[in-house]
Chains A and B, each alone.
Chain A
């Protein structure tokens, strides 16, 4: 009989709901969501911060949940794809993805959508990107800005063209 693995209590607020979890301290936020809270909308594509499939919003900012230990998310508010909108009341970015067919297999999609929501907020706050020419102009994002700012989310199905169209439609 092997002794039990150490676990500790971690309080997580996800999509407005408080969860008291008993977690191995090595558990990432992504695995806490997927394996412990049954919130499987956040995807694991690489577990190393290289693909963006696991993107969620932590205190409103887009975050690779595979790179964040669950214990480090204590005290933060986490929003996942499930918290952005559901079938009855989809978020405008979710609706735009449907309308512009901005997905194929759908595996990168929750991450793309969370990333787009966070990105639009960054842009609205006037955060520049590497392709921003005029740092004082916080107007509508052009397609070059969207492409640049969404390049942390890989889509192997190659839905980028439609993803850019969908996000531009929301931003318009």
Chain B
């Protein structure tokens, strides 16, 4: 039996459930000291004075580093990493000093005592439609075009039988991996060794090499266990730069971990978004026009534009179309990637609007989507490598019991609860990035696969061992795997749902090369290896449109008295190419959907307009879904074969569960109550005054 697709347990599972798996901060080199960042308490300001001496005099304080005396860094093309380089402060929460002390307790105490005086300016930190600072960036995240236009959207709107024109918003959301960002940095004899919580340490090495002006060959970054990231650890954040800087300066190993509160300013987050969606439909429900105009924020030190309207370029057929992105540089921390950047907020908007159109036209929401299924990519005209959205919708509808659903909103009661159901589509690009791997046959008959992949909870170790075993034609337990250290063959980050496809390709290619060598070579004492790199293969790929698809179905209950919303049932059906491990894949889909429920109902970064900071910057006030908020989520997938992807045949599954899930919940809330909420999160205050009295 092939190892591919088998529900293998995670190879590092025992280490994780017994507490033996060590995450970055859990390495404590001899003689280490602790560093604690001091954050600005003023947005958009200038530091006038820092009373370093008072803190340096405290027992146990080793050093205080400020912009006055920090070493100068080379620009690595990320403004957030230029820490302690200037006395200008761009946002509240930015690092203005670093305290180094003999113990964690002293470092924390000293950091709170460090007095910093600021000259403050006016704070501009609240994104709104029509904000005067909105501009068109050259491109948006992941290199997508800022604006696109096909046909004449105004003409389509003028001629339509039905028009939907609404603005939908999503708030600032915070990735909040359970392991806060952390670094342990040690310099010895000019070499730098780092333990870092990272989604991809190969790129961390390159960036540290640039920032600190040392050869990449002299740097090792170890990220063997990573406590989640969801994009927040996709590129280095200030923590690693600060720790490395401090370790060089004090000549001792340095440990630095963000507090949970620091995570909200210094780890990246999802920008708030506003999406105006305009749909123009003909009498039969077919779209004549589709427009998506998105706005988002960035900081004043780094431009990041969420690609919010990108998904609307691919979802539905319509001859007239237009999309745009505008961004405002505000006095806020720089937003970054958070699980399905672009698709999550964009598809909340589009899939809510489609639901509104279905109601307006009296067409079942599943059927309206089927009706608008394109034959090729609706903007580019490219062929699909495969597209089974309709199959996901149909199969999901059957499994969920959608048939015979009464479309009328606000009419189903179960005791004190109003009950409703909703559907939404999902899509996510199937990407692949260049990677390399080495596979070695050992004298004892076992194999070793080495690749600097990162396992942030996806089960990467396990599926890559499965791919190797499959290609070599051996049992998985004869394959050892080493990942998560930058000295291994270089590989792409765990991001863009492209990890397994990218790494799997490299591992597959190296395995097949080894099989070739083993045909006419004996295994010497130190083993026989083959290496492979996929850069050229990826370059040569055909120019087709590659996406994974899915359909979410949700049932919600809304309490008549309080407006409390509970998701009671949820089903996701996905078409994501070949599924390589049914056990871990199911968990990942469920995890994405769980984050979708969390975003739909709970997560809400609240900007303090006066001070320019997210006021609810901890886990007591920034609510993420807890166990009691999450129903029994069911997941199914299609047996999809797509030979235009990559040799392992997977499209990526890390993010698609979080795309469309919030819209399915929002649509179900509308079906339950008749109240359309266009701003996430949906909370009782938006519903309660509209609900009927309980009879």
CB within 8 Å of B: which residues of A?
A: 2-5, 24, 26-27, 31, 34-35, 38-48, 50-51, 53, 80-82, 84-87, 90, 94, 97-99, 101, 103-110, 113, 143, 146-148, 150-164
Q: What is the chain A residue whose CB lies nearest that of B34?
A: A35
B178/A43 in contact, CB under 8 A: yes
Report the minimum CB–CB distance from B10 to chain A (whole Å): 7
Given A105-B226, A158-B630, A5–B102 Cβ distance below 8 Å?
yes
Choose one: B225, B590, B592, B618; the contact of A46 (CB below 8 Å): B618
28 A-B pairs, CB-CB below 8 angstroms?
A4-B60, A34-B26, A39-B19, A41-B19, A44-B257, A45-B260, A51-B178, A84-B18, A97-B13, A97-B17, A103-B16, A104-B228, A104-B584, A105-B179, A105-B226, A105-B228, A105-B456, A105-B457, A106-B12, A107-B23, A113-B17, A152-B626, A155-B178, A156-B178, A156-B595, A160-B630, A161-B633, A164-B632
Residue of B with least CB distance to A144: B628
| Complex partner residue of B227 from A26, A106, A113, CB under 8 angstroms | A106
Which chain A residues border B632 with CB–CB below 8 Å?
A: 143, 161, 164
Contacts of B624 in A (CB 8 A): 154, 156
Which residues of B are found within 8 Å of A107, using beta-carbon distances?
Answer: 23, 177-179, 227-228
A150 vs B456: C-alpha distance in the bound complex, in angstroms? 23
User: How distant is B153 from chain A, measured CB to nearest CB, in Å?
Assistant: 38
A101 and B109 within 8 A (CB): no
Contact between chains at B59 and A161 (CB < 8 Å): no
Decide if B178 touches A5 in the complex (CB within 8 Å). no
- 9 extra interface residue pairs, beta carbon distance < 8 Å, beyond A31-B104, A101-B587: A2-B58, A48-B619, A87-B20, A94-B18, A107-B178, A154-B178, A156-B176, A156-B595, A160-B625
A51 touches B102 (CB 8 A): no
Question: Does chain A have a CB within 8 A of B103?
Answer: yes
Q: Which residues of A contact B14 (CB under 8 A)?
A: 87, 90, 98
**A2 contacts B627, C-beta separation under 8 Å:** no
Scoring B16, B228, B590, B633 by chain A CB atoms within 10 A of each residue's CB, the highest score goes to B16
A82 to B239, CA, bound (A): 29
A24 and B103 within 8 A (CB): yes
Interface of chain B residues 566 through 625 with chain A (CB within 8 A): 583-584, 586-588, 590-595, 598, 618-620, 624-625
How many chain B residues touch the partner (CB < 8 A)? 70
Q: Which of A38, A50, A81 contacts B619 (CB 8 A)?
A: A50
Q: Which residues of the partner chain A approach B102 to less than 8 Å between Cβ atoms?
A: 5
Query: A158, B178: Cβ atoms under 8 Å?
Result: no
Given the contacts A24-B106, A47-B259, A48-B260, A109 and B16 also touching, CB distance less than 8 Å: yes
Which residues of B lie under 8 Å from residue A40 when comparing CB positions? 19, 22-23, 26
CB distance from A156 to the nearest CB of B (A): 5
Judge whether B216 is part of the interface by a CB distance below 8 angstroms.
no
Interface of A is mostly: loop
Mark interface residues in B224-262 (1 if CB within 8 Å of A CB, else 0): 011110100000000000000000000000000101100
Tell me whether B113 is interfacial, beta carbon within 8 Å: no
Task: Check if A24 sits within 8 Å of B178, measured CB to CB.
Answer: no
**Alpha-carbon distance between A154 and B180 when the two chains are bound, in angstroms:** 14
In the bound complex, how far is the Cα of B102 from the Cα of A46, in angstroms?
22
Min Cβ gap A147→B in Å is 4
A87 with B18, Cβ < 8 A, contacts A101-B10, A107-B23 known: yes
Could you say which residues of chain A place their CB within 8 Å of the CB of B183?
none
CB pair B17–A94 under 8 Å, yes or no, is yes
Closest CB in chain A relative to B408 CB, distance in Å: 30
Expressed in whole angstroms, the Cα–Cα distance for A157 and B180 within the complex equals 14
Question: Are A156 and B230 touching (Cβ within 8 A)?
Answer: yes
- The contact string, 1 if C-beta is below 8 Å from chain A, for chain B 631-656, is 01100000000000000000000000
> Are B177 and A51 closer than 8 Å at their CB atoms?
no
The residues of A that contact B595 with a CB separation of less than 8 Å are: 156, 158
B411 within 8 A of A: no
Query: Does any Cβ of A come within 8 Å of B57's Cβ?
Result: yes
B517 on the interface (CB 8 Å rule)? no
Look across to chain A and name the residue whose beta carbon is closest to the beta carbon of B626.
A151
User: With a CB–CB cut-off of 8 A, which chain A residues contact B176?
Assistant: 156
Known A5-B102, A103-B16, A106-B457; judge A47-B627 contact (CB<8 A): no
CA gap between A132 and B229 in the complex, in Å? 36
Whole-angstrom distance from the CB of A6 to the nearest CB of chain B? 8
Q: Is B260 within 8 A of A46, CB to CB?
A: yes
Contact A157 B628 (CB under 8 A): no
> Is B452 on the interface with A (CB-CB < 8 A)?
no
Tell yes or no: B61 within 8 A of A by CB: yes
B152 at the interface (CB under 8 A from A): no
Write out the residue numbers on chain A whose beta carbons fall within 8 Å of the beta carbon of B109. 26
Judging by beta carbons under 8 Å apart, are A43 and B227 in contact? Answer: yes
Q: Is the CB–CB distance between A151 and B587 below 8 Å?
A: no
Q: Cβ of A150: which chain B residues have Cβ within 8 Å of it?
A: 627-628
**In contact, A82 and B457 (Cβ under 8 angstroms):** no
Chain A residues whose C-beta falls within 8 Å of the C-beta of B598 in the assembled complex:
158
- The answer on a CB contact under 8 Å between A103 and B178 is no
> B538 on the interface (CB 8 Å rule)?
no
B512 interfacial by beta-carbon distance below 8 Å: no
Tell whether, in the assembled complex, residue B178 and residue A38 are in contact, meaning their CB atoms are under 8 Å apart.
Answer: no
Q: Are A82 and B19 in contact (CB under 8 A)?
A: yes
Q: What is the CA–CA distance of A25 and B393 in the complex, to the nearest angstrom?
A: 60
In the complex, are the beta carbons of B17 and A162 less than 8 A apart? no
- A4 engages B59 (CB within 8 Å): yes
> Which of A31, A104, A162 has a CB less than 8 Å from the CB of B458?
A104
CA–CA, A105 and B593, complex, Å: 16
A106: contacting residue among B16, B257, B592, B593, CB under 8 A: B16
Give every chain B residue within 8 A of A164 (Cβ-Cβ).
627, 632
Q: Which residue on chain B has the smallest CB distance to residue A24?
A: B105
A41 contact set on B, CB distance < 8 A: 18-20
- Chain A nearest CB: distance from B123 CB in Å? 27
**List of 3 A-B pairs having minimum Cβ-Cβ separation, nearest first:** A41-B19, A158-B594, A107-B227
- Tell whether B363 is near chain A: CB-to-CB under 8 Å: no
User: A26-B105, A151-B628 are contacts. A46–B457 as well, Cβ < 8 Å?
Assistant: no
A116 to B547, CA, bound (A): 39
